[in-house]
Amino acid sequence: MSHEDNYQMEPARWSAGRNALAFAALVAVIACVAGCLQDPARFFHSYIVAFGFVAATGLGAFFFVMVQFLSGSAASVTVRRIMENIMYTLPFGALLFIPVALGLKDIYSWTTYDAAHDAAMRWKAPYLSEKFFLIRAAAYFLVWSVWIFSIYRQSTKQDTEKSVRQMYAASRWSAPGLFLVVVLGTLASYDWFMSIEPKWYSTIFGLYILSGGALTFMSMVTLIALGFRRAGVLRNSITLEHYHDLGKWMFALTAFYTYIAFAQYLLIWYANIPEETAWYRHRIAGGWFWIAISMPFIRFIIPFFTLLCRPAKRNLGILGFVAVWSVVVEYIDLYWVAMPAYYPAGPELSWQDFATLAATVSLAGLVFWSRFKKHKMVPVGDLRFEQGLYFENA
């Protein structure tokens, strides 16, 4: 079997991809601007979900790239550059955050809430102030950017230098980075998503968002690899064995997400404290009930049992289906987490939901795609690259 691939994307293909993404981004951004002028409140409500979707995916990528450097994974080397390029979109999330910063009044009810007369809110008031909120967001993006750019620089430097030094340098960044991504990711989840209902609190909420994001990220990697395969790119580098591994990850993260989501629900259900149960109360009200009741099925039972047996993970059709499924239900999940605060009677779909999602995803996609112009599509300089090519599942 030949393992020769063209590791550099052909300029024509790259331009075509960039043009498609740029066109999509242009149309979506124009639609967003129109939507924002027509109904700003609705725009910001839709936008926070779309922003969260992209940010959570980026955080998942950030986490997994560092895990690979620390574990010295050989099996995943051939898909690592795809992962790194998704990770690379996270710093640019700071630009995507600008609309959130402009729409604080519409998105977060605590901005207009009179905390002085509410004992449950008074002690949160110093934390939930607009200025501190923006400073924290800037700090998250600053720290993530420093780490991501440093790790990415080492990885791409290794393409040409092929030295063990970049590997060690990337590992040294990754160890504290893993700690930072979980702690800051948790705080960011609290800030951007949990504070939409300011009285509610759940310690595990950060992991709820991060595990969902990790699953979306792994599904995205699978979909991108499958797309490349269809276009005849990296066909011999990303083999069935690597897809099998991606399938195992999607399977594992489905179980992990369920564990976290159920743990949160169980503890709140059991303790039965009004300020905690209110969050679920709002999410089973009216039309939201149907999303709530289908969650165990669409987020766990269907993807879990689809991927359970080994042949399913080695079937690219099934894998692609589950990847698309996971991405869609992640969006539904985030929608269900954020939107009941604005629309208590039930889901009110708007074209702005799609426009904002298209905008954030295509802009992040543009950043992702831009990396392929200069850099190789696989980390050819990685010392485990050969080992990764020939990897087989036992």
Partner 1 sequence: MKLDPNAIREKLGIGEDKVYGVIGEFDDPHELVHAGRQIRQMGYTKLDAMTPFPVHGIEDALGIRRSILGWIVICVGLCGTATAFLLIWYCGAINDKFVIGGKPLFDFTFSIPIAFELTVLFSAFASFLGMWALNGLPRLYHPSMNYRDAHRASDDKFLLVIEADDPQFEARRAAEHLRSVGAGAVEVVEG
Binding site for partner 1 (CB under 8 A): 262, 265-266, 269-270, 272, 308-310, 392, 394
How far apart, in whole angstroms, are the C-alpha atoms of residue 210 and residue 90? 13
Residue whose CB is less far from partner 1, 179 or 259: 259
Q: How far apart are CA 322 and CA 336, in angstroms?
A: 20
Residues 6+ apart with CB under 8 A from 214: 59, 60, 63, 64, 253, 256, 257
**CB nearer partner 1, residue 132 or residue 297:** 297
| CB closer to partner 1, 269 vs 289 | 269
Taking the complex as a whole, the smallest distance from the CB of residue 324 to partner 1 amounts, in Å, to 25
Cβ neighbors of 275 (< 8 A, separation 6 or more) are: 120, 199, 200, 201
Residue 127 beta carbon to partner 1: minimum distance, rounded to whole angstroms: 31
Least CB distance to partner 1 at residue 296 (A)? 9
Nearer CB in complex with partner 1: 164/266: 266
Return the structure tokens found at 286: 């009216």
Closest contact distance (angstroms) between CB of 203 and partner 1 is 18
Q: How far is the CB of 325 from partner 1 (least distance, A)?
A: 21
Termini Cα distance of the chain: 19
Distance CA 363, CA 233 (A): 23
> Looking at beta carbons only, is 123 or 270 nearer to partner 1?
270
Rank residues 304 and 354 by Cβ distance to partner 1 and give the closer one.
Answer: 304
Q: Least Å distance between CB 241 and partner 1?
A: 10
- Three-state SS at 383: coil
Count of alpha carbons within 13 Å of 162, Cβ hemisphere only? 6
